Amino acid sequence: DGDLPLQRRKSLQRFLEKRRSRLVMVSPYGS
Amino acid sequence: PVTAAFNQETLQQRLQTLIDGAQESWTYAIFWQSSVDDFAAQAFLGWGDGYYKGEEDKAKRSKKGSSPASIAEQEHRKKVLRELNSLISGPASTDDAVDEEVTDTEWFFLVSMTQSFMTGSGLPGQAFYTSNPVWLAGPERLASSVCERARQAQGFGLQTMVCIPSANGVVELGSTEVIFQSTDLMNKVRVLFNFNNPDLG
The answer on pLDDT for B2 being more than 70 is: no
* Each residue's pLDDT tens digit, A6-26: 889 999 999 999 988 887 776
Q: Do B100 and A18 touch (CB under 8 A)?
A: no
List the single range of B53-57, B154-158, B185-189 with lowest mean pLDDT: B53-57
Q: Tell me which residues of chain B have a C-beta less than 8 Å from any C-beta of chain A.
A: 8, 12, 47-52, 54, 81, 84-85, 87-89, 95, 97-98, 100, 106, 109-110, 113
Rounded to two decimals, the ipTM of the complex is: 0.82
A-chain residues near B168 (CB < 8 A) = none
The answer on pLDDT for B125 being more than 80 is: yes
Hey, is the C-beta of A30 within 8 angstroms of any chain B C-beta? no
Q: Which residues contact A12 (CB under 8 A, 6 or more apart)?
A: A4, B84, B88, B110, B113
Burial class of B137 by CB neighbour count within 10 A (0 to 12, 13 to 18, 19+) = middle
Q: Could you tell me which chain A residue has the CA closest to the CA of B8?
A: A7
Q: Do B97 and A18 touch (CB under 8 A)?
A: no
Closest Cα in chain B, distance from residue A7 (Å): 7
Mean pLDDT of all residues in B149-159: 96
Q: Do B8 and A23 touch (CB under 8 A)?
A: no
When the pLDDT of each residue in chain B is averaged and rounded to a whole number, the result is 86
Q: Do B88 and A16 touch (CB under 8 A)?
A: yes
The answer on pLDDT for B126 being more than 90 is: yes
Q: Do A16 and B54 touch (CB under 8 A)?
A: no
pLDDT higher for B194 or B15?
Answer: B15
Best CA proximity match to B127, nearest among B182, B165, B180, B183? B165
Q: Do B84 and A16 touch (CB under 8 A)?
A: yes
Hey, is the C-beta of A17 within 8 angstroms of any chain B C-beta? no
- Please state the φ and ψ torsions of residue B84, each to the nearest 5 degrees: -65, -40
Considering only CB atoms, B8 lies closest to which of A7, A9, A16, namely A7
Q: Do B88 and A10 touch (CB under 8 A)?
A: no
Cβ B4 vs Cβ B196: under 8 Å: yes
* Each residue's pLDDT tens digit, B36-87: 877 777 889 999 999 999 987 655 555 455 566 789 999 999 999 998 888 8
The answer on pLDDT for B163 being more than 80 is: yes
* Each residue's pLDDT tens digit, B79-124: 999 988 888 887 767 667 667 889 999 999 999 999 999 988 999 9
Cβ B28 vs Cβ B174: under 8 Å: yes
Q: What is the pLDDT of residue B110?
A: 96
List the single range of A15-24, B114-123, B125-134, B150-159 with lowest mean pLDDT: A15-24
